[in-house]
Structure 1
């Protein structure tokens, strides 16, 4: 594969990868890694939720920094021929 055919990871891909870690990430770290302001990072988390990802917000009981992590990805439906055929065809 040459450089011209390699697909670059999008910011969304990077966000999903960071949130997929076992321990999750805090807003400050996510913002620094992605080069976004914190409010932009929070908006991106909302966008992931709207896209069907379950994003857990974990606040430590002892105080400290809240962390976010993906607990499940959106379910993709399998398209069957019956699902695409018009009714009565």
Structure 2
């Protein structure tokens, strides 16, 4: 009998998942998901997530800034 266990997503994995959604995520949504402060979320986008090869794009809709990520081709 084999059992498979999946490890919970790391905080960076959670942020990446949010950013890869069609609508992306706001800073507040990423702060809520990770439990991090605003400066830590921004730092993760500028550092670790870019090192993973993601291109972070910022847009402002109805006064709310949203971020989404794309994987380069």
- The verdict on a shared fold, with TM-score over 0.5 as the criterion, is yes
RMSD of equivalent CA atoms: 1.7
Please give the alpha-carbon distance, in whole angstroms, between the structure 2 residues aligned to 1:13 and 1:50. 13
State the match for 2:42 in structure 1: 42
Q: CA deviation at 1:7?
A: 1.8
Displaced runs of 4+ in structure 1, greater than 2 A? none
Q: CA deviation at 1:51?
A: 3.3
Please give the alpha-carbon distance, in whole angstroms, between the structure 1 residues aligned to 2:8 and 2:69. 22
State the match for 1:65 in structure 2: 64
The structure with more radius of gyration:
1
Moved more, 11-20 or 51-60: 51-60
Structure 1 unaligned spans of 5+: 76-89
Moved more, 33-42 or 44-53: 44-53
Please give the alpha-carbon distance, in whole angstroms, between the structure 2 residues aligned to 1:25 and 1:6. 25
Structure 2 unaligned spans of 5+: none
Please give the alpha-carbon distance, in whole angstroms, between the structure 1 residues aligned to 2:34 and 2:17. 12
TM (normalized to structure 2)?
Answer: 0.81
Q: CA deviation at 1:32?
A: 1.1
For the Cα contact (< 8 Å) 1:24–1:67, is it kept in 2? Answer: yes
